[in-house]
Amino acid sequence: MKSTIAEVIQLKYEPVALLWSDEKPADAMQFSESKWGCVMWLAVHAAKGKTAVADKKTFGCFGGGVGLGFGNQYKNFPGGEEGFCHFLSMGNAKRQGGMTIAEKIKPYMTNESYDNFLHGERYIQTPELVEKFLENLPIMEMPAKYVVFRPLSGIDPSTEKPQTVVFFVNPDQLSALTVLANYGRKDNENVIMPFGAGCQTIGIYPYREAKSAKPRAVVGLTDLSARVYVRKQLGDPNFMTFAVPFALFEEMEQNVPGSFLERHTWQSLLSENK
């Protein structure tokens, strides 16, 4: 599948298609079972032109399982949801039973992860507020065995329909896609930027939007931890993600001809980035 958008905004990396499938693609990158990994690495792998895949045993981390649509994996976090609520906020060191759990899992964790388990990532102020965060996440069980990450150019539109198309973009490209997402609409709030893990802003949030009569795009990579991991993979600190439910992607593709993308303001921004 060819993307006119990718051409006119001059993407450095391929758009990534997320698909649901009951069949595992041959030669797809996949994390080892029950081994830690960041889902965003799978997305970057596809942006670089190769296929990756995840299932219920190979989603890399608990947040990744949630983000890809494999249900509420936070229940399986050490110490359950309560353990996660402390992990994302103030840590488990002072929680009753927290140190006992920490000692059991320490051999399986990096020093950084262990420190975060004890003292918290501090991304949300209190465990009670993390509970509210979880209540508002669009957690779901997607109806297939695999989530497949594939370069969009490798998609056959006659046989495959992506759930989401993800662009890795710099600030100018992010601006252009935001304008384009609103270009043919009757209102001006067709892009959202929710707080969540990097994988959640390319997975369950766009999945939710896809069910809407008027789906919105989702800006991501506001997850600081994911930014660290992706920066190492792409070697550039300036990337964000722009995740588009497939129906909106098709709408945006159709709106390129005759739009601002053919006019001098956008062309001047392109020339400055060369």
Report pLDDT digits (tens) over 84-121: 999 999 999 999 999 999 999 999 888 999 999 999 99
**Confidence grade of residue 127 (pLDDT, cut at 50, 70, 90):** very high
Residue 274 has pLDDT above 80, yes or no: no
| 112, 219, 234, 106: CA torsion to nearest 10 | 20
Average pLDDT for the chain: 95
Q: What is the pLDDT of residues 167-176, one digit of tens each?
A: 999 999 999 9
Q: What is the pLDDT of residue 34?
A: 78
Find the range with the poorest average confidence among 30-39, 58-67, 116-125, 236-245: 30-39
Cβ-proximal residues to 136 (8 Å cutoff; 6+ apart), any chain: none
- Could you give the angle at the alpha carbon of 216 between the alpha carbons of 211 and 220, nearest 5°? 110
Q: Look at residue 15 and tell me whether its pLDDT is greater than 80.
A: yes
| Run of H or E residues at 83 | helix 80-87
pLDDT of residue 84: 97
Q: What is the 3-state secondary structure (H, E, C) of 6-71?
A: HHHCCCCCCCEEEEEECCCCCCCECCCCCCCCCHHHHHHHHHCCCCEEECCCCCCCHHHHHHHCEC
Q: Distance (Å, rounded) from C-alpha 266 to C-alpha 89? A: 41
Minimum mean pLDDT range among 9-13, 104-108, 221-225: 104-108
Between 272 and 193, the more confident residue is 193
CB 191 within 8 A of CB 181: yes
Tell me the domain boundaries of the chain. 4-60+143-272, 72-136
Q: Tell me the average pLDDT across 126-131.
A: 98
Per the CB < 8 A criterion, the answer to whether 214 and 185 are in contact is yes
Q: 249 falls in which pLDDT band (50, 70, 90)?
A: very high
| Predicted confidence (pLDDT) per residue in 76-86, tens digit | 999 999 999 99
- The strand order across the sheet containing 52-54 reads 52-54, 146-151, 16-21, 164-169, 240-245, 217-220, 191-192
